[in-house]
Amino acid sequence: MKIRFHVVVILCVLAIAAAAVAFAARSSRGQSRRANSKTSAKPAVRVTDSSSTKASAFTAAAGQNAVLRNDLTWTFGGKPQRGWYLYDLLISKTLNTDHDPVSNNFAEELAGWQKKRRLSADGVLDQDVLMALVSQWQSARLKNRAPAQPDQLVTAPPSDFYDPGRAAELRQVERNAYEAYKEMIAAAAADLKLAPTSKYLKIVSSYRSREYQDQLRKNSPNSGSAGLAVNSPHFTGRALDVYVGGSPVDTNDSNRAIQVNTPAYKWLVRHAERFGFRPYFYEPWHWEYVK
């Protein structure tokens, strides 16, 4: 009898404890559900519904992006262009996304960017969107293109150059740009574990005098306005062409496709801004000191 009574008491205690635990779990779930529904504006059920409609909308956009990324036809500097895959990294940086450029998530992030710019927020990276991106990148470039005065220039040592045999007058850089470049290159060398003999991020071309630029234009008359500009930012001494792989300064798509995939270029896209350098989207090697 005594034992049975004890068993009954123990069972009752266990049952009450179990009920209490179950109740506590239920109410804490309830609280977190309430907390969740407080943070999102819509009730949980509707959020699920609208995100699944969204997902299917962006699936279609992602499908279009997969085609346009390789095939969109557009013009830059008077030259026909094809696709935007060469600018994947710059686009992702601008949209502040890590998602694959042909994914639904990317399309959704793009739609957010489009909305902010009052473009149709469909998540499709078509010609209008690409032009908006290009104009944003172009407007972030060096504004003051006044030619450098001799006292603003320093002559960098041959070891900073892709071609160490370059003449002293072709190794000049604007003083502040050079200081920033040296800081940037030290950070890049550490991050990328570049050997001292590595050509990556060495300077291919820096300050160019107007006379020298005219000579370059004469030597390559077909380079067009996307190539050797009449009013080159290189006159300022603040534009640097650095080695990012492939053929150093060749705008052929196949060459640029190599360049935009090197660790050196990827590093620049991620970090150069911190040192005051901004890209020229069309030439992966060309960076301008804008501070």
Decide whether 256 or 286 has the Cβ nearer to Zn ion: 286
CB 287 to Zn ion: min, Å: 8
Closest residue by beta carbon to Zn ion: 286
Decide whether 123 or 248 has the Cβ nearer to Zn ion: 248
Decide whether 109 or 241 has the Cβ nearer to Zn ion: 241
Comparing C-alpha atoms, which of 203, 165, 229 is closest to residue 289?
Answer: 203
CB 249 to Zn ion: min, Å: 7
> 166 Cβ partners below 8 Å, 6+ apart?
158
Cα dihedral 280, 281, 286, 291, rounded to 10, equals 40
CB 270 to Zn ion: min, Å: 20
AA identity, residue 203: I
CA distance 215 to 234: 14
Decide whether 58 or 282 has the Cβ nearer to Zn ion: 282
Provide the binding-site residues for Zn ion, judged by CB under 5 A: 241, 286
CB 241 to Zn ion: min, Å: 4
CB 220 to Zn ion: min, Å: 13
Decide whether 101 or 248 has the Cβ nearer to Zn ion: 248
CB 234 to Zn ion: min, Å: 6
Decide whether 99 or 217 has the Cβ nearer to Zn ion: 217
Decide whether 108 or 241 has the Cβ nearer to Zn ion: 241
CB 192 to Zn ion: min, Å: 22
